[in-house]
Amino acid sequence: MALARALAKARSLAKAGGLAKAQSLAALAGIILLAILIGPTAADGSRIFLQIGNLTDILRQISLIGIMALAMTYVILTGGIDLSVGSILALSTSLVAMGLTRAGQTASYAWHIVLAMAAAVAASALVGTLNGVVIAATRMQPFIVTLAAMIGVRGLAKWLTDNQNIDIGFGRDVAAEFAAVFRQKAIVIGAYAAGAAVFWVVLARTVFGRHVRAIGDNEKAAEYAGLPIRRTKVWVYTLSGLLSGLAGVLYAAENHQGNPNAGVAYELDAIAAVVIGGTRLSGGKGGISGTIVGTLTIGVLTNMLRLNNVDSNVEMMIKAAIIVLAVAVQRDR
Amino acid sequence: MPPLLQAGNVSKHYGGVRALNQAHFTLRAGEVHALIGENGAGKSTLARILAGSTLADTASIAIDGHPAVIHNPLDAQRSGIGMIYQELDLFPNLTVGENLVIGNLHFREGRISVPRRIAAFCRPFLQRVGLACGVNDKVGGLPIGQQQLVAIARALSMDARILLMDEPTSSLFDDAADRLFGLIAELRSAGVAMVYVSHKMDEILRICDRATVLRDGQTIGTVETAATNVDELIRMMVGRDLKLTECTRAGRSQRGGAGEIVLAVEGLTTGKLRGVSFQLRRGEVLGVAGLVGAGRSELGAALFGMDRIRAGAIHARGAIGLLPEDRRLQGLMMSMSVLENSTMAVLPRFQRLGFIRAREEQRALEPLARNLALRCDSTAQPVGQLSGGNQQKVLLARWLLRDPDVLFLDDPTRGIDVAAKQDIYRIVDALAEAGKGVILVSSELPELLRCCDRILVLSGGRLTAIYDAMEATQEKIMAAATTPNSPEARC
């Protein structure tokens, strides 16, 4: 009897999302295994894929998309979408580079760097807030609002920079100092890890996180329950802008430039990571752990294909298949 | 002679939930056969399997003694089986005629439909069900009762010999239901066999020849309705004795509306309501009767501040809670847990610095869940997996935790099983005892007569009568609910 009850409980938990999580984890494990098996070996016979340097490279490569996918998970959980994240990233790279190279000198390098980064991230968050306010106030579809933002913000970044890359040198000035610090693997990966931890805890443990899922599951019911729908939506899009801005700052450091043409189609990569992780595109179901698994899946897959010298066009086709497969497997039945 | 339809060994599971477990069912030619059981007993699932809209794990079905394979609705159509779904499966933006011919194997006109031919094809079937509307009327613009007739005409035009009806009267008021019963009798004498899925005992005893009872996915037995009574059927359904006719109003009269006024509504006018005035006292249960579209739900929306108020005033002492009419659309977050749904409206109460204190949240629900007789595997179970009655209890728990002074319950027993209904009556009682003002909307007049102190009747957005429950009768309420909607109607 107790066994039957335990089984029933396990089943209901599995249905509650554990099963989908197990499936996406299994998919990731499969790809890792494949990467180990078919990957090339180094001169000493060890697997290149398994070298610490390669593994941390993977983490570093997925960190930017990974950071954006964290907030994208919240957005999608509320039943929304944010197409503007790639453009916001470009705006942020441009602003931080302009702040570092064109603004007058302040007392110390550290202050100058902090201010430039803060300005870029704050402006990005503000774009997100604007998205959220328009979506919450007008009830227009998030797809349309953020599509407009995607176009407009890209324009803004290009206009501000005259459509020129702003190079961050390798010398000893403040910009070079910034790049030297924020392109380190440990910083980039650390930023992603910290962001993931915070977003996971907030979603799982806070009132705000509960509201995010409730609104996406059934907005009408959320209205009847008196939940702060508008405020929650504004926050969710603000967070999306903020993390895109953070990703933009890291992008500028890594690439030694502010680039108004950066981040094209990043929104699609971020959405793909969320969806592969099992979050339902219509909202209400899913979470951060799934998104992390989804992000890692894309990262490992890309790495495996590149180690095997697969043509980058073929790589896109394989990714497409993986996205469809991942979602097909996790569908509610 | 073999029976018209025989289904045996019917099993179906959804994830870990077993909806049907080797159920069996036999339908004779020319009978009206009730399929009854508590919510979650599997009766709708069985009907849907026979109609081909749900695929069984196992099922052996025979029609006229010949094995039949029904894997999709087209198979069912070929076998002469039609189904009238509770939430009618019509296309609201297509015309009556288009709804009849779409997917219809008996309308062979190719891909281009000629309106004249459609009309000629449809007319006899519309006449047969007594539908007065035009072939070219949009289905979405018809009243719900007429839409149902369209669905029946559609099944007949597909040459159905077996008609499955899932809770056909759940959204009809008595007059439309009476017309439906007349049609069922006519079809029966014309040789159409019908399976009638319902909760309503009086209907079943009135119009059905036999009744098959399901419980927990299994067939408990089949009885002749002429040789049984309500109490026996309920005993078979719930597996224990339960008096449907139990009257809770006895305790009510002792209280006699003593409390202070918690809600006063004066000349309330919205898009739908016209000058509605009434008062509600602490410890009082005020019933709201009226036909569909009379403005019952709109009254709740106005009180809750969801509809714009054009004129009049609402004076409420304290908070108003609203249990919405449609728990799926307006109430529950289906993929979230029992616990999360229950505490949804009071979450800030359990927070510290924005974080939810899980143990306190759990502790708040526990006594309430016991009191409501809420049945679930664990409070972490998604509410989507619960039966209708238990879902309704979760929603009630949400508002009970909120502890409002006035509670507006919009048809809380709609589509839930008998035992859960009794639980809800008990809770309504307890709420009044505890000094709340309760407004209870219901389509079932006996329910209102049983639970309420006073009953307010709406017709076309106007208040046409307020009765003391002691002097009210079903006849009086019906008369007030069908009062012509003229400005002179008394308020």
Give A140-144's long-range contacts (Cβ < 8 A, gap of 24+). A142/A75, A142/A80, A142/A81, A142/A82, A142/A237, A143/A81, A143/A83
Please indicate, yes or no, if residue A64 is contained in any of the structural domains.
yes
Q: B62 phi and psi, to 5 degrees? A: -130, 140
Cα–Cα distance measured from residue B259 to residue B263, given in angstroms and rounded to the nearest whole number: 11
Q: B342 CA to chain A: closest CA distance, Å?
A: 10
Q: A277 or A327, which is more confident?
A: A277
B40 touches chain A (CB under 8 A): no
CB contact under 8 A, B335 and A16: yes
A5 touches chain B (CB under 8 A): yes
- Domain count along chain A: 1
| Whole-number pLDDT of residue B175 | 76
Q: A89 or B473, which is more confident?
A: A89
pTM of this structure? 0.76
* Residue of A12, A239, A333 to mutate for B, most B C-beta atoms under 10 A: A12
CB A90 within 8 A of CB A261: yes
**Alpha carbon separation from B178 to B145, B182, B202 (Å, rounded):** 11, 6, 12
Q: B380 CA to chain A: closest CA distance, Å?
A: 7
Q: B333 CA to chain A: closest CA distance, Å?
A: 5
| Whole-number pLDDT of residue A16 | 47
Cα–Cα distance measured from residue A161 to residue A151, given in angstroms and rounded to the nearest whole number: 16
Please indicate, yes or no, if residue A296 is contained in any of the structural domains.
yes
Q: Report the residue of chain A nearest B328, measured CA to CA.
A: A221
- DSSP state letters, A38-84: HS-B-TTS-BGGGSHHHHHHHHHHHHHHHHHHHHHHHHHHTT---TT
User: B234 and B184, same structural domain?
Assistant: yes
Cα–Cα distance measured from residue A286 to residue A275, given in angstroms and rounded to the nearest whole number: 9
B332 touches chain A (CB under 8 A): yes
Residues of chain B with pLDDT under 70: 15-17, 39-40, 109-111, 171, 173-174, 239-258, 292-293, 483-491
User: B230 and B254, same structural domain?
Assistant: no
| Surface of A (273-332) touching B: CB under 8 A | 280, 284-285
Please indicate, yes or no, if residue A117 is contained in any of the structural domains.
yes
| Whole-number pLDDT of residue B234 | 76
Q: Report the residue of chain B nearest A216, measured CA to CA.
A: B333
- Indicate the pLDDT class of residue A19, thresholds 50, 70 and 90: low
Q: A80 phi and psi, to 5 degrees? A: -105, -165
- Could you give the strand order of the β-sheet that contains B406-410, starting from the edge strand earlier in sequence? B320-323, B406-410, B437-441, B285-290, B454-459, B462-468
CB contact under 8 A, A214 and B348: no
CB contact under 8 A, B334 and A218: yes
Cα–Cα distance measured from residue B458 to residue B453, given in angstroms and rounded to the nearest whole number: 17
Q: A226 CA to chain B: closest CA distance, Å?
A: 6
Please indicate, yes or no, if residue B243 is contained in any of the structural domains.
no
CB contact under 8 A, B333 and A11: no
Q: A89 or A28, which is more confident?
A: A89
Please indicate, yes or no, if residue A318 is contained in any of the structural domains.
yes
Structure tokens at A298: 């894309």
* Residue of A202, A211, A220, A224 to mutate for B, most B C-beta atoms under 10 A: A224
CB contact under 8 A, A207 and B304: no
| Whole-number pLDDT of residue B245 | 43
- Burial code of B34-46, b = ≥16 C-beta within 10 A, e = fewer? bbbbbbbbbbbbb
Q: B348 CA to chain A: closest CA distance, Å?
A: 7
Please indicate, yes or no, if residue A313 is contained in any of the structural domains.
yes
* Residue of B322, B325, B335, B390 to mutate for A, most A C-beta atoms under 10 A: B335
Q: pLDDT tens for residues A194-206?
A: 999 999 999 999 9
* H-type alpha helices, B373-437: 388-402, 418-433
Among A15-19, A226-230, B32-36, the range scoring the smallest mean pLDDT is: A15-19
| Whole-number pLDDT of residue A278 | 87
Contacts of residue A328, Cβ cutoff 8 Å, sequence gap at least 6: none
User: B321 and B226, same structural domain?
Assistant: no
| Whole-number pLDDT of residue A107 | 66
Please indicate, yes or no, if residue A220 is contained in any of the structural domains.
yes
A151 touches chain B (CB under 8 A): no
**Alpha carbon separation from B396 to B287, B379, B408, B424, B431 (Å, rounded):** 18, 15, 11, 9, 11
Structure tokens at A227: 């939940």
User: B310 and B339, same structural domain?
Assistant: yes
CB contact under 8 A, B347 and A8: no
Highest mean pLDDT among A214-218, A303-307, B116-120: A214-218
Strands in B69-161 per DSSP E: 81-84
| Whole-number pLDDT of residue B418 | 76
User: B160 and B26, same structural domain?
Assistant: yes
User: B223 and B267, same structural domain?
Assistant: no
CB-nearest to A207 from B16, B354, B377 is: B354
- Domain count along chain B: 2
Cα–Cα distance measured from residue A330 to residue A275, given in angstroms and rounded to the nearest whole number: 10
Per DSSP, A105 falls in state P
Nearest to A232 by CA among A250, A253, A216: A216
Cα–Cα distance measured from residue B81 to residue B19, given in angstroms and rounded to the nearest whole number: 22
**Alpha carbon separation from B305 to B300, B301, B322 (Å, rounded):** 9, 6, 10
pLDDT at A137 over 90: yes
Q: A186 CA to chain B: closest CA distance, Å?
A: 30
Residue B350's domain comprises 249-481
A16 touches chain B (CB under 8 A): yes
Q: In chain A, which residues have their Cβ closer than 8 Å to the Cβ of B330?
A: 220-221, 224
A108 touches chain B (CB under 8 A): no
Q: A9 CA to chain B: closest CA distance, Å?
A: 6
* pLDDT-above-70 percentage for chain A: 91
**Alpha carbon separation from B120 to B99, B137, B249 (Å, rounded):** 14, 15, 55
CB contact under 8 A, B382 and A16: yes
What value does the mean pLDDT take over residues A252-269? 93
Conformational region of residue B295, where left means phi above 0, alpha means psi within -120 to 50, and beta covers everything else? left
Please indicate, yes or no, if residue A301 is contained in any of the structural domains.
yes
- Domain CATH code at residue A99: 1.10.3470
- Domain CATH code at residue B32: 3.40.50.300
Among A132-146, A268-282, B57-71, B240-254, the range scoring the smallest mean pLDDT is: B240-254
Cα–Cα distance measured from residue B262 to residue B267, given in angstroms and rounded to the nearest whole number: 17
CB pairs under 8 A between A and B: 94
CB contact under 8 A, B330 and A220: yes
| Surface of A (178-237) touching B: CB under 8 A | 205-208, 210-211, 213-214, 217-218, 220-227
Please indicate, yes or no, if residue B90 is contained in any of the structural domains.
yes
Longest C-alpha distance within chain A, in Å? 75
Residue A187's domain comprises 21-35+50-330
Contacts of residue B450, Cβ cutoff 8 Å, sequence gap at least 6: B247, B248, B249, B425
CB contact under 8 A, B344 and A225: yes
Q: A79 CA to chain B: closest CA distance, Å?
A: 13
Please indicate, yes or no, if residue B488 is contained in any of the structural domains.
no
- DSSP state letters, B249-302: HHHHHHH-S-SPEEEEEEEEE-SS--SEEEEEETT-EEEEEE-TTSSHHHHHHH
Q: A240 phi and psi, to 5 degrees? A: -60, -45
CB contact under 8 A, B380 and A13: yes
ipTM above 0.85, yes or no: no
Structure tokens at B64: 């006229």
Q: Report the residue of chain A nearest B353, measured CA to CA.
A: A206
The continuous run of DSSP H or E covering B408 comes out as strand B406-410
> How big is the CA angle at B382 (ends B378 and B383), to the nearest 5 degrees?
100
Q: In chain B, which residues have their Cβ closer than 8 Å to the Cβ of A211?
A: 347
The domain boundary, picked from B219, B238, B257, lies at B238
Q: In chain B, which residues have their Cβ closer than 8 Å to the Cβ of A226?
A: 345
B183 touches chain A (CB under 8 A): no
B306 touches chain A (CB under 8 A): yes
User: B458 and B331, same structural domain?
Assistant: yes
| Surface of B (364-383) touching A: CB under 8 A | 377-378, 380-382
What value does the mean pLDDT take over residues A119-147? 96
Q: B334 CA to chain A: closest CA distance, Å?
A: 7
pLDDT at A269 over 60: yes
User: B217 and B349, same structural domain?
Assistant: no
User: B331 and B366, same structural domain?
Assistant: yes
CB-nearest to B344 from A5, A14, A214 is: A214
The domain boundary, picked from B179, B209, B238, lies at B238
Q: In chain A, which residues have their Cβ closer than 8 Å to the Cβ of B17?
A: 11
Strands B58-63 and B66-68: antiparallel
User: B58 and B16, same structural domain?
Assistant: yes
Please indicate, yes or no, if residue B277 is contained in any of the structural domains.
yes
CB B456 within 8 A of CB B286: yes
Please indicate, yes or no, if residue B205 is contained in any of the structural domains.
yes
User: B255 and B226, same structural domain?
Assistant: no
Q: In chain B, which residues have their Cβ closer than 8 Å to the Cβ of A221?
A: 324, 329-333
Please indicate, yes or no, if residue B437 is contained in any of the structural domains.
yes
CA A74 to chain centre: 11
- Could you give the strand order of the β-sheet that contains B311-316, starting from the edge strand earlier in sequence? B276-281, B261-269, B311-316
Cα–Cα distance measured from residue A14 to residue B368, given in angstroms and rounded to the nearest whole number: 26
CB B450 within 8 A of CB B247: yes
CB contact under 8 A, B355 and A205: yes
* Residue of A200, A202, A205, A218 to mutate for B, most B C-beta atoms under 10 A: A218
Cα–Cα distance measured from residue A239 to residue B321, given in angstroms and rounded to the nearest whole number: 33
Strands B261-269 and B218-224: unpaired
Q: A314 or A105, which is more confident?
A: A314
- Indicate the pLDDT class of residue A35, thresholds 50, 70 and 90: confident
Q: Hey, how many other C-beta atoms are within 10 angstroms of the C-beta on A148?
A: 15
The domain boundary, picked from B196, B216, B238, lies at B238
| Whole-number pLDDT of residue A212 | 96
User: B155 and B256, same structural domain?
Assistant: no
Instruction: Express the helix, strand and coil content of chain B in percent, nearest 5 each.
Output: 35, 25, 40
CB contact under 8 A, B354 and A227: no
Instruction: Express the helix, strand and coil content of chain A in percent, nearest 5 each.
Output: 75, 0, 20
Per DSSP, B330 falls in state I
CB contact under 8 A, B354 and A208: yes
A12 touches chain B (CB under 8 A): yes
